[in-house]
Chains A and B, each alone.
Chain A
Amino acid sequence: MNAPAASAPVAGAERAARQQQVVAALSRLLPAHALLWQSEDTVPYECDGLTAYRERPLVVALPETESEVAAVLRACHKLEVPVVARGAGTGLSGGALPNAMGVTLSLAKFNRIVLVDRVARTATVQCGVRNLAISEAAAPFGLYYAPDPSSQIACTIGGNVAENSGGVHCLKYGLTLHNVLRVRGFTVEGEPIEFGSAALDAPGLDLLPLMVGSEGMLAVAIEVTVKLVPRPQLARCIMASFADVRQAGDAVAAVIAAGIIPAGLEMMDKPMTAAVEAFVHAGYDLDAAAILLCESDGTPEEVAEEIDRMLDVLSGCGATRLEVSKDEAQRLKFWSGRKNAFPASGRISPDYMCMDSTIPRRRLADILIAIAEMEKKYGLACCNVFHAGDGNLHPLILFDANDPDQLHRAELFGADILETSVAFGGTVTGEHGVGVEKLNSMCVQFSPDEREQMLALKRAFDPKGTLNPGKVVPTLARCAEYGRMHVKKGLLPFPELERF
């Protein structure tokens, strides 16, 4: 049992005593305004972007200097208090869900851009700097930071490191890991540590890929050095309509098979297109069963050549309508719907549940057809928006959380999508992370030995298990329980409990 949602209620008196102890220890290290523990002050921290899961932290610490971070970590380690690091709180899997008996370490005040090095094409920034702020700071030099998660206005680089965030351009430009050189921070004991280096590699094992995407389980990131890349001279986007989802899915594979790596390759199905068109009025083809957005960037010569090749492939795959952006305004208009898929869904349904699995590209049409079957099975609608070039799916299951039966069916629907994705050779999470949301799905994707190896890996960094406990890797006991529930799918005990 390691999900906070499933943990036994902690006795009030025990919690109050622990709180007093932790506050006493931390108030010696932090100014009064940097320590919150009254209920009204800690409420804003009770969830991240996954609002279905909420927990009140014991204490919120808001250090302003690195030595304060180190001191807080040392004190917590000594008291064996769980520590949950937190950036902007935009994560979608509950990775920053507080621990009822732990300290939420807010790193929001570490928001300084330390250095933009034009010549080296790197930026060194504190963990609380927003993703988009890096590109804005680099813009005067004709450079930018490539990974662009849809939440880039708000999400921080520290959170991007924790989740190994992607974005619509990662097929060509890579994920966070591919664009980070160095992460500097502290171990759970409060000792300074550095992963990677200002060079292209570092001595010893390459721990950077473990740290990036570790969801705050291995160490606390304080400063990140990222690569900057020259902004392409030109970008143009093709909007292609298809009368059939299978043709659209096959077209994605055909573009890649033709040796083209588009700067972005996204797919929306008909219900999603209808929802976003009503929201942004971008002129999408409402008759199409699926729409592809296919972008090329580079020098004007390169883009002209690539757009021609893309048009050939797409029309060869049966596109019913093809439109190429004429200028930057039109290109941004094409993207506006895609980028607003989530808020548009929020307009047409009281609640939606966003999935994040990845499958091999060639199974795109298969999963769309499978999801259509699931809509009937669970009696709920689903809009589909995919990072098709990466095979990363974001089906949005529409439901009303006020109806417990709908919520329950939405959860089963979501689990079904994840397990079908694994069966298709994919993974339960492409970019949003496991957090607490997908703990059960980890039981399906990994064997007991594999999960035990991951738990052992965590112990190598965090022997006492106090850094963001209960996330990412489920315990054997939890998976055993899930396995028992699983065979009785549809007949879950306590259907009111949130499990996904």
Chain B
Amino acid sequence: MAAAPEPALARLVDQVLTARAQHVALDIRGGGSKVFYGEAARGEPLDVKALAGISSYEPSELVVTARGGTPLAELEAALAAKGQCLPFEPPRFAPGGTVGGMVAAGLAGPARAAAGGVRDYVLGATLLNGKGEVLSFGGQVMKNVAGYDVARALAGSLGILGVICEVSLKVLPAPAASSTLRFEMSQAQALARLNEWGGQPLPLNASAWWEGTLVVRLAGAAAAVQAAARKLGGETIEAPLAAAFWNGLRDHGDEFFVGAARAVERGASLWRLAVPQTAPPLDLSGELLVEWGGAQRWLCTSTPAAQVREAAARAGGHATLFRGADKSAGVFTPLAAPLDRIHRELKRAFDPEGVFNRGRIYPGL
């Protein structure tokens, strides 16, 4: 792609060079489905949707390469047609999201703890940096240690390093079978049970605990799923209902998140706490939903930010203000000094004039 820039890419390069020369800040825009996430977007919109399309897909290679503006729905449909999937289940939130946005947001769905995150499936990427250079890192192969792994570091970068023009992703066969089981238990019991099961060779793929109910999904070879379901017990949820439940959880359309959205409108905040999966129940008030075997805890609360962050830090993790009207406390947990310095230097290395997505992660970055 770098060799013969296509018109859509050439136009983007021009826009970036112009913005750089005129000291104009740009706000990289795909489908806008995750514009709520992170600090407020500033600058002139840079629409990247024209840079779209699946460039190559070889099911037998387990690799797909797509341009940044490709609708995520198009990519998922192409994979599903060949019985494959993005195992990290990127949340879609709203229609229209793009592949570049998926990587830039770096968010993963219910299967994260079992299957890995966005970064674990990135094999390569082409980046348009703040100097207007089109650069490729990584590649389309499974193993590649030639140079620094810039492509994977773009996952979750929220556009501050540049425009993700194209990305190559590892994909996997969709699980041959799955089964969803339901149990009644307290949060502490659920955490204990999930960690105990996690230490056994079981095809545990996703979990969610909310209001005294634990739901787990098994996925893999039919024989393994059946054997594990017999072993774990619980009440089996019928497939269509189960699929709707996990999709709702993934896209934040289920009951918990709909309730949270209403509470956010009334002034509450929705926090994402990433903690070690063995962390005991946190001493925080509010509505709680626990995912990823205990490693991701959603909390809808009016508790002050400092108190939420402190509880997450005490548990060995961090807290992100995922949705909230008042973001004055900062969306992301502040960094320790050496990491903060490296972040600023990295920003300068990729985007010296600060053209892209200024302040989207931290002020001044």
Q: What separation, in Å, do the CA atoms of A192 and B342 have in the docked complex?
A: 13
Number of chain A residues whose Cβ lies closer than 8 Å to a Cβ of chain B:
99
Decide: A392 and B117 in contact? CB cutoff 8 A: no
- Docked CA distance A461–B338 (Å): 9
> A102 to chain B: which residues have CB within 8 Å?
none
Residues of chain B contacted by A338 (CB below 8 angstroms): none
Q: Are B201 and A432 in contact (CB under 8 A)?
A: no
- Inter-subunit contact B145/A213 (CB<8 Å): yes
Task: Mark contacts of B79-102 with chain A using CB atoms, 8 A cut-off: 1 yes-contact digit, 0 otherwise.
Answer: 000010000000000000000000
The answer to whether the Cβ of A193 comes within 8 Å of any Cβ in the partner chain is yes
Which one, B113, B199, B202, B335, contacts A141 given CB within 8 A?
Answer: B199
Check if A465 is an interface residue, CB within 8 A of chain B.
no
Contact (A256, B62) CB under 8 Å given A204-B362, A206-B106, A425-B139: yes
CB of A233 closer than 8 Å to a CB of B: yes
B78 to chain A, nearest CB (A): 16
Contact B62 A360 (CB under 8 A): no
Chain B residue nearest to A230 in the complex (CB): B201
A191 touches B337 (CB 8 A): yes
Instruction: Assess A204 versus B361: contact at CB under 8 Å? Given A298-B224, A299-B227.
Output: yes
Is B320 a contact of A461 with CB atoms below 8 Å?
no
**Contact across chains for A453 and B129 when beta carbons are under 8 A apart:** yes
CA distance A205 to B158 in the complex (A): 9
**How many whole Å from B274's CB to the nearest CB in chain A?**
4
A-facing residues in B136-162 (Cβ within 8 Å): 136-137, 139-150, 152-153, 155-157, 160-161
Question: How large, as a class, is the contact surface on chain B?
Answer: 35 or more
B333 within 8 A of A: yes
- Asked whether any CB of chain A lies closer than 8 Å to the CB of B348, the reply is yes
B2 at the interface (CB under 8 A from A): yes
A210 touching B148 by the CB < 8 A rule? yes
Q: Are A213 and B139 in contact (CB-based, < 8 A)?
A: no
User: Chain A residues with Cβ under 8 A from B63's Cβ?
Assistant: 360
Q: How far is the CB of A365 from chain B (nearest CB, A)?
A: 13
The answer on a CB contact under 8 Å between A460 and B155 is no
Given the contacts A142-B199, A299-B224, A472 and B142 also touching, CB distance less than 8 Å: no
Instruction: Return the CB mask of A419-447 against B: 1 if under 8 Å, else 0.
Output: 00000011111111110001001100111
Complex contact B274–A199 (CB within 8 A):
yes
CB-contacts of A277-306 with B (<8 A): 298-299, 301-302, 304-306
Cβ of B222: which chain A residues have Cβ within 8 Å of it? 305
**Inter-subunit contact A143/B199 (CB<8 Å):** yes
B-side contacts of A454, CB under 8 Å: 147-148, 150
0/1 per residue, A447-469, Cβ < 8 Å to B?
10111011011111101000000
* B359 contacts A by Cβ under 8 Å: no
What residues on A are CB-neighbors of B140 within 8 Å? 360, 425
Complex Cα distance, B129 from A191, in Å, reads: 29
A363 to B353 CA separation, bound complex (whole angstroms) = 42
Q: Whose C-beta in chain A lies nearest to the C-beta of B226?
A: A301
Q: Enumerate chain B residues within 8 angstroms of A141, measured Cβ to Cβ.
A: 199
Q: Is residue A391 within 8 Å, beta carbon to beta carbon, of the partner chain?
A: yes
- Contact status B274-A259, CB under 8 Å: no
- Residues on B with beta carbons closer than 8 Å to the beta carbon of A197: 274, 316-318
A225 to B272, CA, bound (A): 23
Report A's interface with B, CB cutoff 8 A.
117-121, 141-143, 163-164, 166, 170-171, 174-175, 177-178, 187, 189, 191-194, 197-207, 209-210, 212-214, 217-218, 230-233, 253-254, 256-257, 259-261, 298-299, 301-302, 304-306, 358-362, 387, 389-392, 425-434, 438, 441-442, 445-447, 449-451, 453-454, 456-461, 463, 472-473
Interface contacts beyond A118-B199, A119-B195, A199-B318: sample of 17 additional A-B pairs, CB < 8 Å, sorted by A:
A163-B145, A191-B338, A197-B318, A202-B318, A206-B157, A207-B339, A232-B201, A253-B61, A256-B62, A257-B59, A299-B201, A301-B224, A301-B226, A427-B143, A446-B147, A450-B135, A450-B137
CB pairs A–B below 8 angstroms (9 shown): A170-B142, A193-B339, A200-B112, A202-B274, A233-B201, A253-B60, A261-B172, A302-B220, A430-B141
